[in-house]
Structure 1
Amino acid sequence: MAKNYKYKYSNPFNLDGMDKSKDSIHSLPFWIGFVILLSLSLLFGIVFLIDGWLPTALTINDEAKYPDSFITDRAVQDLKYLTDLGPKITGSYENEQIVVDFLSVHIQTIIAEAHSSQFIEYDIQEATGSYYLDDATGFVNIYDKVQNIVVKVHGQNNESSHSILLNSHFDSVPISPGASDDGINVVSMLEILRKLAKSNKRLEQNVIFLFNGAEETPLQAAHGFIAHHKWANESKYIINLEACGSGGKIVLFQTGPDAPWLVKYYSKVPHPSGNVVGEEIFQSGLIPSDTDFRLFRDFGNMVGADFAFVKDGYRYHTAYDSFDNIPSGSYQHVGDNILAYVKSLANAPEVTEKERSLGKMVYFDIFGLSMITYSARTALILNLVTAAISLGVFILALLVFRVKIDGETFRYIGITTAAILASWIIAAIFVLILAVVLDLLGKTMSWYANPWIIFGLYVVPTFALSGCLLYFTSHKFINFQSFSLNVRGQIQIHLVRLIWTIILVIGTLCGVRSVYVIMIPVLFNSIFFLLLHVFRLQHAIGIWLIVHAASLFVPILYLLQQVVLLYSFFIPITGRMGAQVNPELLIGFSVLFFVIVGASHLTVLTNLLRKAKFYYIILASVFLLCLGLLFTPFAFPYSGNESSPKPQRHWIMHTQRQFYLDSGELSRTESGFFLLNMDRNSPDILKSTVRELENAKSLDDDCDQYPLCALPLIHAKIAKKIHFSEWIPASDPEFPSNETLTFKVTSQEQISYTKVKFNIEVSGPDKLIFYFTPRSNINVLSTSLSKEMKPSKIAFQHRPVYIFLYQRGKNDGTSVSFDVIVNKPPAQQGAVLDIAVSARYVHQNRIQKTAAFLGFLVEFPQWTHITPWVAAYQSHVLSSGSRV
């Protein structure tokens, strides 16, 4: 062993058995650990309050003083009218007539009152078309006479072929009045249009306002515009306004592709909000949502920015998304930002440049006060320079401490590094076990209505465990007896930073822009310790601790900002991810990441504590207390409190299923309640109150015999959730007499030696879904339903399944006629194609719920939110030479 180093082995269970003669003056009382946790909690509270700050709303009385500013008053009045209409479903009278008239009158008034220098055009589009939406399921989306209201504010060059497109949608989902999704953005666009129209100076480029009437169907009217409207070709840049929450700030969560200058201009708006972390999470597919932005990007080759309200996502797509829950500051936030952004882009020279800068951007706001932006190339340089500084500071520290570089030193560094990583692994194993055990015990999602439980359940034990082995390398197993405890503590801090430095380099080389979250603490810690060593303060008792704490203040403050944003957005989403996902794993491992990124630098300080056993005992007690609360009513996952709802969601369809033979004979008919399980606790948590669940029937046989288990899809995206759903036998539903689902093969024609053409007529409501499943050796060549003929990503018995979603907008008919051409071997006779049709009746004022259905719905407790529909499903077999 080297002369200056002595390693000591001792009983690891004797926490206070070390030689304290040299270390006691450098150690800290155990209560300092709680001061650290309380300080973090206080910072979290401060960040939470800052996150709620919104700009002061301007009234009509303020307009004389601020003539060019967004006026919230008018937007509020407009939204009140729209939400009073209730749900505005595509195909409904409210959506296709009342809202269209409302917007038309407002727009015509704005045009009439516009400044004489402005030239504004207005158009109502009825769009019919189809396209293949390549999502997790893959389906053909068909729309018939959906409506768009389009307004063009001409720029200085009337012949400009570069227009800025501003988009929001005025339709809503069934049940919801759609105040935030997407009413606030619609009325904000009206006010922005008014301000541009009143201006005495034209912008450089055209600005096109698209009020689209079929987004929830999904994403149909956006395609109708980009594929068929006369102004589509000139629309090059998209600003899309959406919502997956209610109120709060509108957040930039997606940009591009490859248009870094878009973020540069957004960073200059009055209240910038957004970060690239949200963009990378959203584009990973983890979030069960999509926006019109995708349509404009994929089908219109457009670049732009996607914005959304994300706070209080419990209200999203529910009856709780109402007018009263949107603060006036939210209107002002979206109005100020988007008005400024539209003006900036419309006057930006990059709009008309043929060779624009390409690449991606790193961007993040600082509490909505300003935004930091830099290119991915700059990020590469910055991150690698930060890594070099971090390594240099570590080498400097070894020199300053006069550490002899020999085998024993490498052994100490290796064991300490292993202890750090092993502690993180122990914390990860703990999170994994806890998440699985809670799921098995039926105690998942306790934090859904009570986010504070996350602190005791995951934050506290992760904080304790992520540095547990490091404590023993400081005090028990191996001690650098030639150096004081504070020197050993500083070396550990350097090693923690070096581990994150390696992760930073790997993430950077893999192109992950979100690694700036890691870069910030590494950079700050490196700089502060560089100053510490330059001024030779590393041996001053307590000084280095103050410097270290100071180096973490800004990174942790920023990290907490990300935590507030992520969890306010992500926790409500777990209520609609489906029963197939264990959300405890998602929450637990996200906590693990944030705690280790922020607290791994702090756990070194807890290794300096005297009588640390009391610190760990109290932390364990906090965890056990929170764990015990899971078995009490205090940790119930849901709440029906209208002022702060946290409901469990349920989509329920009273469904009739009918199965026909190729002869046209009805072979089986049955009815029941189709209950789609939207989260992990459904339906088990309901079994004590909803008695009908005892009669739930397995659908395994139907899943083996029919595509998608012979159930009506609400949306193609929920296809993977069907196997986690319930079928409860019940009496027949009632259908509107003029919209009863009927299926008829009107003719069959042998158009060639191998090709057969079937003509089909289907009558029913405005929402239909067709499933084509060809038999073995049969190919579906085409259908007049759509020019798109691409199978979904869901196969059945090794046979392709074609899914067609059909939506009618202006309801001037109840039938759909189409043909299907199949190719078959000449000798093959009999069944060639299975066709299933599902019909959904979603307009509450058109459907009559039976007494049995109402009785079933009333059993659901007050803390649930139900979307009740009526549906019909028919399965048919087409055979060569079959009946007509």
Structure 2
Amino acid sequence: MAPKRSASNFDKKYTNGGSSFDSAPVRGMAPLRSYLLLGTYLIAAILLGSSLHYQLPQPKTHRGISPLVDAGEFSEYNAIETLTYLGDTLGYRIVGTIEEAQSADYLLQKIESYKQFSRGIPDAPKFDVWVQHQNGSHRFDIMDHMVLKMYTNVTNIIVRLSCPETPANESRDCDQNAVLLNAHFDTTLGSPGASDDGSGISVMLEIIRIMSQKSWDGYKNSMVFLFNGAEESLQDASHAFITMHEIKDSIRAVVNVDSCGTTGREILFQANSREMIDAYKQAPYPHGTVMANDVFSTGLILSDTDFRQFVEYGDNLIGIDMALYKNSYLYHTHLDTPKHLQPGSIQHLGENVLAIVDYLAKNTTLTGLERTNQVVYFDFYGKIFLVYSWDTAFVVQMSTVAATACFFAYILYRSTSTSPYRSIGQTLLAYFVSTGSVIVGFVSAVAAPNIVAIILTSGLVNRPMSWFKNEAYGGLIFGPAALVAIFSTQYVSKLLPIAGHPDPEHAGFVSVLMAFTVVTMITTLTGVASSYIFFVFNLFLLLAAVINEAVLAPRSTKSVYKNGIRVGRLSHWTYMISVFPLSFIYIDYVFSLIDIFVPLTGRMGIDTPVDNIVAFIFGMVTFMLTTPFQAHAHKFGKKILAKVIGLLFVFQLAVITSVIYSGASYGGWAFPYDELHPKRLFVQNLKNITSGESSIIVAEADKAAYTLPIIHKLEQAFGVPAEVRGGSVHAAEWDSVYPFSAFLGGYRFDTNEYIKSHTSNSSLAASNEPIGFQLVGKIPSVKSFDSVYDHSTGIRSFSIIAIAPTYTWTVISFDAHVLSWSIGDTEPLNQTSHYVVRHVGGYGSDGWRLDLKVLVPEEVRAQGEEAARAWTMRAEFTALEKEGFAHRGEERLVGGVGMLGEVQKLLPIWTSTTWFGSVVGVWDL
């Protein structure tokens, strides 16, 4: 039996609850050098990651024939030519306008030229073309609102490339299994849509050119290209194709191409099958992660694509959703023009899409495929794309958790069997506290930046969204506070009255590892596919810890002290092999995250606490990038750590002070907006043909209050005070963009007197009638027909017919207990409800019909049959004028006065405006 050892003075101190955190200096480098090296590892990872993350392929500048192999290849030059015509020559291609029809004609001309050329190619594919003009209806839920959609005469252009018409293909089996490639050629109200979705249209045309001019020998499936003409109206054209076109049942898989940005790489942000993710793996520059899929599925992005229609109405369709997404400051603004597209972005998108659809048509069996979200996938800077099943992920991740548990058991054994000796209970308690401090550090890291956000958005400071115009500014404004919180948490943990770790730095690193192990285990057991990121951290921290123990740590295990100097078991090289790779891996996701969310905050609505959202994001990012720093906090004791916290706190105060002074006016670094990062405004010239009111309504889509000087200028110009508008009371004023109207707030100006004082029409100027009663030209009309009342059931059946020549989008809203209607794929609610029905008509359409069966209100029926038969349903009808003010400066004048033009003169350069001319009226139907 070994002799019983005697306790040293150090042993007694630890056993009695003493702490070695500051009992002796650590042997090694000076604090300043150590912290600088740590920062160097982090900055080097960020800089290297930035150069790789934003790397794009060299755009091809030839006409699409490779000079190296004399074969067709994707050419950005050709694609830019197409989207320049769409975005610059035609411009705003809003459904119902002449530009919509001109776009369709242009596309058909290009497609026909490719078809003619392909006839001279041996074994070229069979080339079919359809033009679909369709009426229909559907229910579209978005942003927790139900929208009822009707459409008339929307246009789709469909191209199918399939196996050649040869004796070997007499059965035409390839026509029965198709991969669909979709993009839309219409634009939203406020944008010429060069990127959204001129990019997708130009890519599809290039792929048709390439694929129709090559041999299709060996291809198993056909390719269908859908050029849809009504996506921005809430996905009407894609609904028309997938529910009514003759080849809809042959579609087995979908590749949707859209855009919300103008620069950088395309991203895979939705996928619903393993086979489609495997197809995406064929892309030469893959960029996507299951995290993007998980985030998009939460609805936080406040957007949607045609992918939804295909998945919802197709026959068990599988697919992927791809888009350009960087620099979405210009998304749905007048700045979405060809000159703002980054060279190489379209090349990246086009080469990826071409490789995917070629693989699906040639190498995949498109039958018997099933949807699943049990897949983990992610790329590494577009160089490597990993795909594996959730079952595999579960085994690997839980095995890593188990390996970490074994390593921790070894650490416990070593801690209790070497000097200074500790009991297993003391050691476990110390690790429980230190691991808990890491988790508390995360909470404090996201809480502290929110305190900064509260200060900056307070009435006293009033500097909201000071980070907006540069995605990285959030790191400068909120990062120091997060670091103060992280280090302060570790400082406080030193003060707890427990027996501390003999080597707190080494134990701190093990505690960081154990914190990520716990999180990895929990997220894995709950089935979260995005848990792979915690697994990656767990794995690299485990590897670093094992390498430290096996190679880098001091060999002596008799004592952690030598001549009164503490010899730490955590080598500084361990920081390098943990900080650099983890930061390098994670920063790739950080750039994607902030490039999506920071610009998005400019259109999230007036009630969304965007400063707090961004503060949370950068608090989380700071924590993840600096996780090993929490161990380093214990390297030099409390005094040095207190100085570090103090310096970071002073720096945070300096940043806040700078924001206060530089964020006051345009041009300052902390002013949220500039020409290429604009504030979004919505300006509507609304004429009420029922009340006679004529108004200018100015609305904003973000929380920042920098529009007040603009409002004061408008008050002076129009000679009337602004009325504050917002909330559900005034939401109907923006029914033309329902349900996005729920996110708008702003001001209304009565323009009756202004128009009368500035008109050259003397009779209008002298009239006592409101402007809304004196409109000239074609006015919308809404009438009910074929009304039948059944007194035995209390049901009234009737049809609403709306005629709105020279108008595009129309909206009717009403409150009623509807029992049935002619909206095809949904049933009314089983109670009296508020309904909003949006209609869009393609070019040449000017009316629509809605059939209803409505239960007459009980209180009316109680008054007798005569009263019930006389009952009418009150409805409000809004119609948008076709004039293109944003594109051509045209607006519908009232008495020769153009109110939108008057507003435009007063807007600063840092705004981007969506313009509306509309009329509204109330009808009893």
TM over 0.5: yes
SS in 2 for 1:782: strand
Residue 231 of structure 2 aligns with an amino acid whose one-letter code is E
**Partner of residue 460, structure 1:** 480
CA contact (8 A) 2:220 2:361 kept: yes
Report whether the alignment pairs 1:232 with 2:248. Answer: yes
Report whether the alignment pairs 1:128 with 2:135. Answer: yes
Residue 152 of structure 1 aligns with an amino acid whose one-letter code is R
Report whether the alignment pairs 1:696 with 2:729. Answer: no
SS in 2 for 1:377: helix
Whole-angstrom CA distance in 1 between matches of 2:369 and 2:259: 33
How far apart are residue 184 of structure 1 and its match?
1.6
**Partner of residue 853, structure 2:** 821
**Partner of residue 743, structure 1:** 782
Task: Find 2:277's aligned residue among 263, 273, 279.
Answer: 263
Whole-angstrom CA distance in 1 between matches of 2:371 and 2:855: 49
SS in 1 for 2:197: helix
Q: 1:18 to 1:229 in 2, by over 3 A?
A: same
Whole-angstrom CA distance in 2 between matches of 1:538 and 1:383: 31
SS in 1 for 2:406: helix
Question: Within 5 Å, which residues of 2 pair with 1:547-558?
Answer: 547-558=574-585
Residue 874 of structure 2 aligns with an amino acid whose one-letter code is D
**Partner of residue 835, structure 1:** 875
Q: Which moved more, 1:188-197 or 1:40-49?
A: 40-49
Whole-angstrom CA distance in 2 between matches of 1:542 and 1:235: 62
Question: Within 5 Å, which residues of 2 pair with 1:627-706?
Answer: 627-633=656-662, 634-641=668-675, 645-659=676-690, 668-682=691-705, 685-686=708-709, 690-692=713-715, 695-698=721-724, 703=728
How far apart are residue 242 of structure 1 and its match?
0.5
**Partner of residue 665, structure 1:** none
Whole-angstrom CA distance in 2 between matches of 1:2 and 1:215: 78
CA contact (8 A) 2:484 2:648 kept: yes
How far apart are residue 543 of structure 1 and its match?
6.5
Q: Cα deviations across residues 485-505 of structure 1 (Å, max 9, x unaligned)?
A: xx3212111112212211112
Whole-angstrom CA distance in 2 between matches of 1:786 and 1:523: 53
How far apart are residue 213 of structure 1 and its match?
0.7
Residue 88 of structure 1 aligns with an amino acid whose one-letter code is R
Task: Find 2:586's aligned residue among 559, 574, 579.
Answer: 559
Question: Within 5 Å, which residues of 2 pair with 1:531-546?
Answer: 531-535=547-551, 537=553, 544-546=571-573
CA contact (8 A) 2:137 2:151 kept: yes
Count of equivalent residues = 839
CA contact (8 A) 2:152 2:840 kept: yes
CA contact (8 A) 1:676 1:721 kept: no
Whole-angstrom CA distance in 1 between matches of 2:470 and 2:60: 35
SS in 2 for 1:274: coil
**Partner of residue 3, structure 2:** none
How far apart are residue 720 of structure 1 and its match?
2.5
Q: 1:538 to 1:807 in 2, by over 3 A?
A: farther
Question: Within 5 Å, which residues of 2 pair with 1:511-530?
Answer: 511-530=527-546
Residue 65 of structure 1 aligns with an amino acid whose one-letter code is L
Q: 1:26 to 1:636 in 2, by over 3 A?
A: closer
Instruction: List alignment gaps of at least 5 residues for structure 2.
Output: 1-5, 556-566, 663-667, 753-770
Residue 334 of structure 2 aligns with an amino acid whose one-letter code is A
How far apart are residue 286 of structure 1 and its match?
0.3
**Partner of residue 100, structure 2:** 95
Whole-angstrom CA distance in 1 between matches of 2:83 and 2:703: 35
**Partner of residue 183, structure 1:** 198
Report whether the alignment pairs 1:721 with 2:743. Answer: yes
CA contact (8 A) 1:32 1:609 kept: no
Task: Find 2:57's aligned residue among 44, 55, 58.
Answer: 55
Q: 1:628 to 1:837 in 2, by over 3 A?
A: same
SS in 1 for 2:285: coil
Q: Which moved more, 1:732-741 or 1:758-767?
A: 732-741
TM-score (ref. length: structure 1) = 0.89
CA contact (8 A) 1:148 1:225 kept: yes
How far apart are residue 38 of structure 1 and its match?
4.5
Q: Cα deviations across residues 400-440 of structure 1 (Å, max 9, x unaligned)?
A: 33454433223322332343333333333323322223222
Whole-angstrom CA distance in 1 between matches of 2:840 and 2:190: 18
CA contact (8 A) 2:254 2:317 kept: yes
Instruction: List alignment gaps of at least 5 residues for structure 1.
Output: 660-667, 793-797, 879-884
**Partner of residue 768, structure 1:** 810
SS in 2 for 1:24: coil
Whole-angstrom CA distance in 2 between matches of 1:518 and 1:787: 42
Task: Find 1:599's aligned residue among 626, 629, 635.
Answer: 626
CA contact (8 A) 1:447 1:635 kept: no
RMSD, matched Cα: 2.9
SS in 1 for 2:271: strand
Task: Find 2:441's aligned residue among 406, 412, 423.
Answer: 423
Q: Cα deviations across residues 649-691 of structure 1 (Å, max 9, x unaligned)?
A: 01111112355xxxxxxxx342322233200114655457544
Question: Within 5 Å, which residues of 2 pair with 1:474-623?
Answer: 474=494, 480=500, 483=502, 487-535=503-551, 537=553, 544-609=571-636, 611-623=640-652
CA contact (8 A) 1:638 1:863 kept: no
Q: 1:536 to 1:654 in 2, by over 3 A?
A: closer
Q: Cα deviations across residues 545-594 of structure 1 (Å, max 9, x unaligned)?
A: 21242033222111111111111121111000011101111111112222
Q: Which moved more, 1:42-51 or 1:521-530?
A: 42-51
Task: Find 1:809's aligned residue among 819, 838, 842.
Answer: 842
Task: Find 1:369's aligned residue among 383, 387, 393.
Answer: 383
Report whether the alignment pairs 1:848 with 2:892. Answer: yes
How far apart are residue 738 of structure 1 and its match?
5.2
CA contact (8 A) 1:654 1:733 kept: no
How far apart are residue 359 of structure 1 and its match?
4.6
TM-score (ref. length: structure 2) = 0.85
Residue 318 of structure 2 aligns with an amino acid whose one-letter code is V
Report whether the alignment pairs 1:241 with 2:241. Answer: no
Task: Find 2:150's aligned residue among 118, 131, 142.
Answer: 142
Q: Cα deviations across residues 530-555 of structure 1 (Å, max 9, x unaligned)?
A: 23324473558686221242033222
Q: 1:142 to 1:415 in 2, by over 3 A?
A: same
SS in 2 for 1:413: helix
Whole-angstrom CA distance in 2 between matches of 1:580 and 1:842: 31
Residue 853 of structure 2 aligns with an amino acid whose one-letter code is I
Q: 1:738 to 1:385 in 2, by over 3 A?
A: farther
Whole-angstrom CA distance in 1 between matches of 2:837 and 2:669: 43
How much identity, in percent, do the aligned residues show? 23
How far apart are residue 173 of structure 1 and its match?
1.6
CA contact (8 A) 2:140 2:234 kept: no
SS in 1 for 2:684: strand
Q: Cα deviations across residues 680-724 of structure 1 (Å, max 9, x unaligned)?
A: 114655457544398232558x956xxx643232333314325x3
Whole-angstrom CA distance in 1 between matches of 2:274 and 2:825: 36
**Partner of residue 31, structure 2:** 29
How far apart are residue 870 of structure 1 and its match?
1.1
Q: Cα deviations across residues 232-289 of structure 1 (Å, max 9, x unaligned)?
A: 1111100000101112111111101xx1121122112211111111111111000111
**Partner of residue 285, structure 1:** 299
CA contact (8 A) 2:75 2:206 kept: yes
Q: 1:164 to 1:603 in 2, by over 3 A?
A: same
